[in-house]
């Protein structure tokens, strides 16, 4: 139990360091403190300023780190937001406050503590032991100097001295933890009766006045976000194939002959054997006796091939195969070179005479022959030609990619010169917003969503390029974007469409549908409430339309909407059955709670090992926020 508590404290402390202070992407504490700038001051901690230059540099580093971690899924529009920038500035201020607190409180981490922290980090372990090679690989992979990483670790170790008292102070009362555990793992057996909007919407009608009123009140919800219509070039295998010349019959025949094995089916034979070993240092008489034994066994096998399995079990010295009918499997030439001549000497299935290999005699039985064959060129000419074309296209692709990069760098005013020289088609893609692709209903014909090329613009990285200053505002071609090693993309903004609410006549059908849905939702709710009242007053009848019973809990019912689950789990259950109701995305639902039981022991373990540390960390974080707020006042943050 004490070890669990100590483990929880370490988890809490690590979380506090991550949440209260920022990762500097190993920028280096010394470098951070050594900024001298006359730039715009964003904040100050006593006599130390945090400037726009400092913020911009650390924020760019942070975005680069996020981009590296997320890879293709990084979305700059979701990362570089005003809220995230504000949070980052707060973390920079907190860091400066804690650094000053460290100095004033003489908190420090010795070289020994830094070495110990690095050596105990599991990411640098190999089979549970610290590996200097793994540490070096980490530094190289992240382009970090060892001195910067050690400064980062030293800072965190020193911060831990400031934050350790907070982690130590977190101790929830046992009764509170018991109540939380009960709330999380308690199971309730329930039945649902749903009143779905779809059952009422067909009978709903709306007037013109209602449509106008809804539009005037809720039109902002229909706003189409800023989007761009783009032109683009895609260089891929298909594009490279267009530039490949026709392949001559002579080239096809030469390629076919050079790769004949590729179009051939190798002969294979199902083979069994009996191995009879010569004794070590056998004299002539013993050798003669062993050969005679082998010849006798071979004669028996030839006379009755069906007995080969029994003969192998009785006479074979090959312990690996004698109990498996002597089977060597399905063999091609070269699989067992020493036996090739014997195995492939038979024109049809049968048994060979004994064959001496090394210090053993082998009796071979060929059970089945799968004859080899060669596909005629006439039958596969088109396939061979396509293989040649693909190889030529791969070679041409490399040249085209190099030339595309040169052309794009030379002229960023238009895609046409690039398209003309490389024989590429300029394509159009409409409805590309910062956060994703818009529907045809929103942007009209040409919407890229749903097309075969939509995958390119679903990439946050491509959308980030489209909305960059160079491409969006300066109207320049992008650079070459490598989608994959065999797909290169260049984009250009053809039209920048500002965010706008469509006129009513364009969205009238949407407004009418929303109105009908709202009315049907209200009707479903009213019918459900009336039924709920009756059930609460009179109880359940024999046939009430409830679904099959299911067991739910907060830990095991993640597929349920949170508000529905909370309603079920928070309902008083002094007297069962209990009926409660809730609005759902599809209408209204009545929940009949039939049974309440404790969670199983596995759920208790999950709570203790995983949830409890998180709860304590959350409490510690709130305490840390309060402490940090007090420290900010004490250090005169402005």
**351: CATH:** 3.10.50.40
Q: How far, in Å, are 53, 54, 396, 492 from residue 39 at the CA level?
A: 6, 9, 51, 35
Q: Give pLDDT, residue 471.
A: 94
Q: Indicate if the pLDDT at residue 229 is higher than 60.
A: yes
23 and 159 share one domain:
yes
Chosen domain end from 439, 465, 497: 497
Percent above pLDDT 90 for the chain: 32
Chosen domain end from 497, 515, 535: 497
Contacts of range 310-319, beta carbons closer than 8 Å, 24 or more positions apart: 311/274, 312/272, 312/273, 312/274, 315/274, 315/276, 316/273, 316/274, 316/275, 316/276, 317/275, 317/276, 317/277, 317/360, 318/273, 318/274, 318/275
Element (H, E) at 299: helix 284-303
Indicate whether 556 belongs to any domain.
Answer: yes
Indicate whether 57 belongs to any domain.
Answer: yes
Question: Which is nearest to 201 in space by CA: 521, 571, 484?
Answer: 521
Q: What is the rounded distance in angstroms from the CA atom of residue 54 to the CA atom of residue 34?
A: 10
Q: What is the rounded distance in angstroms from the CA atom of residue 187 to the CA atom of residue 554?
A: 8
Number of structural domains in the chain: 4
Q: What is the rounded distance in angstroms from the CA atom of residue 218 to the CA atom of residue 575?
A: 44
Q: Give pLDDT, residue 153.
A: 82
Q: What is the rounded distance in angstroms from the CA atom of residue 263 to the CA atom of residue 241?
A: 24
Tell me how many degrees the CA angle 73-79-81 measures, rounded to the nearest 5.
Answer: 150
Q: What is the rounded distance in angstroms from the CA atom of residue 6 to the CA atom of residue 17?
A: 17
132 and 56 share one domain:
yes
16 and 145 share one domain:
yes
Q: What is the rounded distance in angstroms from the CA atom of residue 282 to the CA atom of residue 16?
A: 80
352 and 478 share one domain:
no
Positive/negative CA dihedral, 629, 634, 637, 638: positive
430 and 463 share one domain:
yes
Q: Enumerate the H helices of 80-173 as residue ranges.
A: 82-104, 111-119, 132-141, 146-169
Indicate whether 86 belongs to any domain.
Answer: yes
Q: Report residue 162's pLDDT band, with 50, 70 and 90 as the boundaries.
A: low
306 and 452 share one domain:
no
133 and 205 share one domain:
no
Q: What digits encode the pLDDT tens for the residues 280-315? A: 888 888 888 989 998 999 999 999 999 999 998 999
Residue pair 256/386 in contact by the 8 Å Cβ criterion: no
Indicate whether 10 belongs to any domain.
Answer: yes
Specify the CATH number for the domain of residue 133.
1.10.4030
Q: Give pLDDT, residue 205.
A: 92
Indicate whether 262 belongs to any domain.
Answer: no
Tell me how many degrees the CA angle 354-366-359 measures, rounded to the nearest 5.
Answer: 30
- Mean pLDDT across the chain, nearest whole number? 83
239 and 317 share one domain:
no
Indicate whether 178 belongs to any domain.
Answer: no
Question: Which is nearest to 380 in space by CA: 392, 388, 370?
Answer: 388
Q: Indicate if the pLDDT at residue 12 is higher than 60.
A: no
Q: What is the rounded distance in angstroms from the CA atom of residue 187 to the CA atom of residue 551?
A: 6
Q: What is the rounded distance in angstroms from the CA atom of residue 450 to the CA atom of residue 429?
A: 11
543 and 572 share one domain:
yes
12 and 157 share one domain:
yes
Q: What is the rounded distance in angstroms from the CA atom of residue 636 to the CA atom of residue 106?
A: 19
Domain encompassing residue 442: 224-245+381-497
290 and 406 share one domain:
no
Q: What digits encode the pLDDT tens for the residues 514-560? A: 999 999 999 999 999 999 998 888 877 655 788 888 888 887 776 78
Question: Which is nearest to 594 in space by CA: 638, 637, 544, 631?
Answer: 544
Query: Is residue 329 classed as helix, strand or coil in its secondary structure?
Result: strand
Q: What digits encode the pLDDT tens for the residues 18-71? A: 444 454 444 444 444 444 445 677 888 787 888 888 888 888 877 777 777 777
516 and 569 share one domain:
yes
Burial of 105-136, coded b for 16+ CB within 10 Å and e otherwise, reads eebebeeebbeebbeeeeebeeeeeeeeeebe
Mean pLDDT of 117-140: 85
Q: What is the rounded distance in angstroms from the CA atom of residue 279 to the CA atom of residue 359?
A: 8
Question: Which is nearest to 399 in space by CA: 248, 255, 245, 243?
Answer: 243
Indicate whether 604 belongs to any domain.
Answer: no
Indicate whether 603 belongs to any domain.
Answer: no
Chosen domain end from 475, 497, 519: 497
Q: What is the rounded distance in angstroms from the CA atom of residue 386 to the CA atom of residue 396?
A: 15
């Amino acid at each position: 139990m004490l070890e669990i508590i100590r483990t929880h404290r370490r988890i809490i402390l690590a979380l506090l360091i991550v949440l209260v202070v920022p990762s500097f992407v190993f920028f280096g504490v010394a470098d951070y403190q050594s900024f001298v700038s006359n730039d715009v001051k964003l904040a100050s901690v006593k006599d130390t300023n945090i400037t726009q230059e400092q913020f911009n540099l650390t924020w760019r580093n942070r975005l680069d780190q996020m981009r590296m971690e997320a890879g293709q899924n990084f979305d700059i529009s979701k990362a570089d937001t005003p809220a995230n920038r504000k949070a980052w500035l707060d973390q920079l201020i907190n860091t400066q406050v804690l650094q000053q607190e460290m100095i004033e409180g003489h908190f420090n981490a010795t070289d020994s503590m830094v070495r110990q922290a690095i050596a105990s980090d599991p990411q640098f372990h190999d089979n549970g032991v610290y590996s200097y090679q793994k540490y070096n690989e980490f530094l190289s992979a992240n382009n970090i100097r060892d001195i910067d990483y050690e400064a980062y670790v030293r800072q965190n170790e020193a911060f831990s001295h400031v934050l350790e008292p907070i982690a130590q102070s977190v101790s929830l009362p046992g009764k509170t933890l018991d109540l939380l555990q009960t709330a999380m793992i308690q199971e309730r057996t329930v039945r649902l009766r749903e009143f779905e909007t779809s059952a009422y919407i067909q009978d709903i009608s709306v007037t013109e006045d209602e449509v106008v009123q809804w539009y005037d009140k809720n039109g902002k919800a229909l706003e189409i976000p800023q989007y761009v219509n783009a032109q683009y070039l895609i260089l891929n295998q298909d594009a490279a194939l267009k530039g490949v010349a026709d392949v001559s019959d002579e080239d096809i025949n030469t390629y076919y002959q050079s790769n004949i094995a590729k179009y051939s089916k190798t002969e294979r034979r199902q083979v069994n054997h009996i191995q009879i070993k010569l004794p070590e240092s056998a004299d002539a008489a013993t050798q003669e006796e062993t050969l005679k034994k082998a010849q006798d066994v071979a004669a028996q096998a030839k006379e009755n091939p069906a007995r080969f399995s029994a003969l192998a079990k009785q006479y074979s010295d090959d312990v690996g195969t004698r109990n498996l009918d002597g089977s060597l499997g399905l063999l091609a030439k070269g699989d067992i070179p020493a036996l090739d001549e014997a195995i492939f000497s038979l024109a049809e299935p049968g048994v060979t005479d004994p064959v001496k290999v090394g210090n053993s005699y082998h009796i071979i039985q060929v059970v089945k022959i799968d004859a080899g064959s060669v596909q005629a060129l006439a039958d596969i000419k088109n396939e061979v030609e396509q293989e040649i074309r693909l190889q030529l296209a791969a070679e041409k692709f490399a040249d085209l990619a190099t030339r595309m990069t040169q052309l794009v760098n030379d002229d960023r005013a238009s895609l046409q010169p690039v398209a003309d020289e490389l024989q590429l088609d300029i394509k159009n893609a409409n409805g590309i917003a910062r956060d994703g692709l818009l529907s045809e209903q929103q942007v009209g014909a040409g919407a890229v969503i749903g097309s075969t090329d939509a995958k390119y613009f679903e990439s946050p990285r491509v959308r980030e390029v489209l909305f960059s200053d160079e491409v969006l505002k300066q109207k320049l071609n992008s650079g070459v974007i490598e989608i994959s090693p065999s797909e290169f993309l260049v984009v250009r903004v053809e039209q920048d469409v500002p965010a706008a609410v469509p006129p009513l006549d364009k969205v009238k059908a949407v407004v009418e549908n929303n109105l009908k849905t709202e009315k049907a939702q209200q009707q479903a709710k009213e019918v459900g409430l009336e039924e709920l009242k009756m059930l609460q007053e009179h109880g359940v009848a024999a046939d009430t339309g409830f679904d099959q019973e299911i067991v739910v809990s907060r830990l095991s019912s993640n597929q349920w909407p949170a508000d529905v689950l909370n309603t079920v789990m928070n309902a008083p259950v002094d007297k069962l059955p209990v009926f409660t109701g809730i609005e759902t995305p599809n209408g209204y639902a009545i929940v009949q709670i039939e049974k309440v039981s404790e969670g199983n022991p596995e759920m208790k373990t999950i709570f203790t090992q995983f949830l409890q540390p998180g709860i304590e960390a959350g409490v510690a974080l709130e305490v840390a926020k309060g402490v940090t707020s007090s420290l900010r006042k004490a250090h005169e943050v402005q």
